[in-house]
Amino acid sequence: MSDTRIDRRFKALKAEGRAAFVTYVMAGDPNYDAALEIVKGLPGAGADIIEVGLPFTDPMADGPAIQQAGLRALAGGMTLKKTLKLISEFRQDDNDTPIVLMGYYNPIYSYGVDQFLTDATSAGVDGLIVVDLPSEEDKELCLPAREAGLNFIRLATPTTDDKRLPKVLANSSGFLYYVSIAGTTGAAAPKASDVATALTRIRKTTDLPIAVGFGLRTGAQAAEIAKIADGAVVGTALVEQVALGSNDKDSVNRVLELAREISAGIRSVKKT
């Protein structure tokens, strides 16, 4: 695979001496136009990589906030096709910020893998995180995605042992997403010392950048992770701001305001 936007972004951040701020938002939440405004505003608020969630009716890895976001998006008529349209609209003004689609295999399977990969690459998608496709199913989507030039990003968890880890890493690219706690998104904050121990072990097996997520809510928490990881992922805390907004404009402003605060925390940590 040639260098992707994700590869280039992590190399640039390494040269800059800081960790990536990886944001997650749900496509179509609270509606198409406001979601597009959020995604367009995130790079200016400090996001280095944007994960865009695919709304799905049965999101088994997600906590209540992201489940509700997906339901709001689906109720508003959001589809995979519209999600790709949203990304192509984002790309009209931003050709540098990496976009990762994160979700479940069912909507992609229903869309048709070949058609999906054609449409995703032309829309400007850079990577995929498909949480319910283990490495044993690489022929389904992972290998065709790599052929299409997309990074296929895997999750590792505190229960991913040394025997399992090489299988998780096989055919992975872009970065490794380390799920810092055993549980669903938005649960308790991770202990930095536990994460540091896990990353030391994982780095013996891979040179991929490692981004840490699940449970990060504040700039201070993200800064702690930025000291030890190559990236900090924040999703639930941002998604919650959408629901707290009194109207679309308020939702957009709340998300971007929190993103700026967390970005400042991450950027305060300089690595040598």
Q: Mind telling me the catalytic residues?
A: 51, 62
DSSP state of 135: G
Distance between CA 210 and CA 177 in Å, rounded? 6
CB-count burial class (<10 Å; 0-12, 13-18, 19+) for 183: middle
Tokens 């997650």 label which residue? 24
DSSP assignment string, 172-237: --S-EEEE-SSSSTT-SPPPHHHHHHHHHHHHTT--S-EEEESS--SHHHHHHHHTTSSEEEE-HH
